[in-house]
Amino acid sequence: MLNNKTILITGGTGSFGKKFVKMTLERYKPKRLIIFSRDELKQFEMAQDFPMSDTSPIRFFIGDVRDKERLYRACRGVDVIVHAAAMKQVPASEYNPTEAIKTNIYGAQNLINVASDLGVECVVALSTDKAVAPVNLYGATKLASDKLFVAANAFALGPRYSVVRYGNVIGSRGSVVPFFMKKRKEGVLPITDDRMTRFWITLDKAVEMVFHAIECSAGGEIYVPRIPSMKITDLATAIAPECGQKVVGIRPGEKLHECMIPAEESHNVVRTDTGYIILPMSDVLRYKGDISRYEKVPEGFAYGSDTNDDWISIEEFRAVLKEQGFEI
């Protein structure tokens, strides 16, 4: 699938980018694998794990998705783009709204236009459960980004654009798992609301979803995995059973429960072996995929972290954390 292909990943020095690069090199032999990001220090640090050489396909490219001209330079000759660049911290986006819009919306539009102009074959954009019925600016910008990528398939010529939407990634930079790990030494973990639930996915499974989208998308799909939910109190217990828990109140822009498929979109959703596909709503897109082997979900179906059929136990979550290299 990716053998002898030139692949570019925006935001490639993040948690997902590093895992994507590692798994791609383990499974395929790409012609080039371009890490596109704006932080030269993170690129330097990543280069220690993936050193460049005459035989290595890896190339590091400093740039920002806000800079369309730089994208043109980086994407020339590229076959596949994975778009992982985003401003994703909820509080930072709330207090710097124009910056979040420039990166998450204008950056997405820049990438779409450049990919179309340069004849890229396939673009897969990463999304988030926070893009569904958003209550914060980060979610709103990702919803707009998702709409842009899906609508881009209306171009007469151009790449196949698809979206991969998943929940919280276990251990990703800035997430609650490393935060709780640091808080353990204080003896008390802050809980925003003891009713809160979240979806959880490993980085490996997130990358697998992107591989699947690259291989199977016809253009316009939003891929959603079936993944387990967990109560935030159980997560805290799994990480630090010896610690107390203190309810500190829900933060601005935070939801009690997350949703990845709203009931209003159920008539466009099919169930696959591993998850769901939200099909494009507009007839203008002329969806070309074959969904005959998939089952449509019932009308009114919604996929939320509180109504999920699959729940991960404290013991199971601890086992996953150990597999991911955390000290439990």
Exposure b/e, 165-182, CB count within 10 A at least 16 = b: bbbbbbbbeebbbeebbe
The answer for residues whose C-beta is within 8 angstroms of residue 286's C-beta and 6 or more apart is none
Q: Is 147 a catalytic residue?
A: no
Measured CA to CA, the distance from residue 322 to residue 171 in angstroms comes to 11
**Of 19, 42, 130, 255, catalytic:** 130
Maximal C-alpha separation, the chain: 59
Task: Determine the straight-line distance between the first and last CA of the chain, rounded to whole angstroms.
Answer: 37
**Which residues are marked as active site?**
130
